[in-house]
């Protein structure tokens, strides 16, 4: 993936079952709601936070996190 661009962070609350991996692995990008489900804290991230966001997306067991390049919108 090319660097420099921003990533949009999308979270599918229907798919999320609350494993909590996103807000543990990416605490600056995700937060938890009162049921322990992930919520997006930063909807647009770059550089350091994009690393966190990718880690969360790769480790979400439900594939509830989608990252999109903000550049080619
Ligand atoms: S890791 Fe995935 S399933 Fe778990 S709380 Fe986060 S978005 Fe939801």
49-65 pLDDT, tens digit per residue, is 999 999 999 999 999 99
The pLDDT of residue 35:
96
Q: Where are the domains of the chain?
A: 10-69
C-alpha distances (whole Å) from 65 to each of 12, 14, 50 are 6, 11, 13
Cα separation, 8 vs 30, in Å, equals 13
Residue of 10, 58, 64, 67 to mutate, ligand 1, most atoms within 8 A of C-beta: 64
Cα separation, 42 vs 34, in Å, equals 18
The encoded tokens of residue 11 equal 């979270």
Is the pLDDT at 73 greater than 70, yes or no? no
pLDDT in tens, 23-52: 999 999 999 999 999 999 999 999 889 999
The owner of tokens 């420099």 is 4
Cα separation, 26 vs 38, in Å, equals 10
- Residue whose Cα lies nearest atom 3 of ligand 1: it is 16
The pLDDT of residue 4:
63
Instruction: Please identify, in words, the CATH class of the domain defined by 10-69.
Output: alpha beta
Confidence of residue 72 (pLDDT cuts 50, 70, 90): low
């Amino acid at each position: 993936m090319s660097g420099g661009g921003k990533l949009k962070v999308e979270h599918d609350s229907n798919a999320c079952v609350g494993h909590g991996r996103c807000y543990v692995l990416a605490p600056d990008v995700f937060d938890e709601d009162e049921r322990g489900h992930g919520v997006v804290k930063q909807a647009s991230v770059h550089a350091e936070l994009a690393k966190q966001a990718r880690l969360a997306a790769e480790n979400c067991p439900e594939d509830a996190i989608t990252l999109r390049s903000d550049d080619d919108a």
